[in-house]
A and B are shown apart, each in its own frame.
Chain A
Amino acid sequence: MPIPVLLFPYIVQKEIFKSMEYCELFIMSLCSKRMKYCVIRAKRKVPELWYGVNPDLKFIVLKKGESPVDVMIALDDKTDLIGIKPVELKMGEDFKTRGIVTTMQPTLEQYFCFIQLSKLDAKVTKALYEHVKSLFWYTVPCGLQVDVNSLTEELPKYENVSKILVEGKSVLELNDLNTFLSPYYPNLSTLMVNCPINGEVNDALKILEVSNIHLSKPGLVGASLLSKFTGRNIVFSHLVITEKELNLFIKKWMNSEGYQNLEMIFFNAPPDFDFDINLIIDQLETEEFDPTKRPQWYQIDFKLFYFSSSPADFSGDDCFDVIRESDGKRASILCFSNVFFFLVWN
């Protein structure tokens, strides 16, 4: 049954758009210039959006609260379009290309728009970004998920990005990361690197301006990044570090020689490692847990893409408190087997 949606009054159009999925609105906006204008006029609010950039796949996903992400749009680099007739697509301000638009249904209730293009270059990425940006009303800052091999690609100027996830199998060079972070992302608060990382840490690196950092495979970069860290939260997996270095770090914090903004450090060392807490707190003035001075449990917020919050018990034989001289601020050290926590209480 054909329905002349454009001939309905604006209020009816808006009501129809309200009942549609975001990916359907995107597809609808590709139907005609007038239709795109109507979708823009309705300006649906979107939850957190993540832009995904891989060498052969660009995508946009939605993150609703703590729920898993829903793919909204995916652009695939396909050269075997023979047999299916591509259609002309107008995206962004004036970009035209040809591609095959289909909808995929990964779950019963979820659809996403899948577009196959013969060429997936910087112009397409830019047009997709501009197009989506014009359609929706962003309510929260966006995230950016970049493959390590796409870091050096020409990318659009993604606005209001607060989280970046770099992932892949190749090694990320700190210099490449610095070049990538340098021109944009003034609102970046969280960076997660989920690939091996290599390079020399110096004070001029942009990564040191990020408040929350998570390195999954820090290698030798981890310990030196920790020594220069000025942000709030830092998390490592498989960090190679000695008890002496940790002792030095705690001393610096207690003497206000660094880490003024620090809220939490959490990491695990390689699986066969077992920390000796006595070496970590060697010659430090420590206190045991006292329930009158601070809570026993703390709800950890990793502020990262994949991590959900979980409560941790800051008491027992493997937990010690230290006090910062300058302002009397209290922090707890929790250390068992290969796990280390340093939590500053507010």
Chain B
Amino acid sequence: MTSPASSSEVKYLIESSEGNTFDVSGAALRQSNTFNAMFLNIGADGPIPFTDYNEATLKKVFEYCEHSVNEENYSGPKHQDDLSKWDLNFFNEMDQKMFIDVINASNFLDIERLTSYCCERIARMLRGKNTQEMIKVITLPTAEELEAKQKVEEKKAAAAKKVAEKAAETAEKTETLEELPVQQLVQTTRNKLTRKYLSFSNE
């Protein structure tokens, strides 16, 4: 069960690509700018479907968020040498696939701190390398892989455009539906749009 309250006690249900759900605290979830933009003020009536990412990846991402809840305000990435033992363990536990999935999920959820740490870690891997060594690390993709990436990006852009059009259309309609209480109408519309957007992302 989820609620729109902003208290750290509130738990939200997260749904992964396998259809599994698990709890995340509101305080942890609020580190995600994507969540803040979509659900913070309006709440979510049911599990929040982050179904582009598997359970293990999402749990890893929110493990980081739960851990950093009590840290002081974020002011840019720390130097890798300044990372705590917990941070280092967190990164070292991940294999390559998980690391890449965490970066992508963190980017989608717009968790600035985690994304920055991951990116700095990659930069660190490239430090002191010559071209040949760098090529080995960055694994240059094949033309097919790049094409597939472009298709995904186009699809996401089209979905975002559709949502924006739908939002504009809905906004026009709501002006005529005066019999509904305004607050209720806005919330219902936002919930619908959010679900619509997430379903586009999953296609």
Interface residues of A (CB under 8 A from B): 1-9, 11-12, 15-21, 24, 27-28, 30-32, 34-35, 87, 89, 101-103, 105, 111
Contact = CB atoms under 8 A, between A and B. Distances in A.
Nearest to B136: A2
Interface in B91-142: 95-96, 99-100, 103-104, 107, 115-116, 119-120, 122-132, 134-141
A31 B131 contact: yes
Nearest to A103: B128
B145 interface: yes
B138 A28 contact: yes
A7 B126 contact: no
Interface string B176-187: 000000000000
B77 A5 contact: no
B146 interface: yes
A19 B130 contact: no
Contacts, number: 101
Given A3-B139, A19-B77, A27-B130, A8 B145 contact: no
A102 B103 contact: no
Given A3-B100, A12-B107, A32-B140, A18 B119 contact: yes
Interface of B: 77, 95-96, 99-100, 103-104, 107, 115-116, 119-120, 122-132, 134-141, 145-146, 149, 153
Contact of A3 (B96, B115, B132): B96
Closest 8 CB pairs of A and B: A19-B123, A15-B119, A2-B139, A19-B120, A16-B119, A5-B138, A101-B130, A20-B123
B131 A87 contact: yes
A2 B119 contact: no
A30 B131 contact: yes
B119 A6 contact: no
B126 A20 contact: yes
A32 B135 CA distance: 9
Nearest to A6: B141
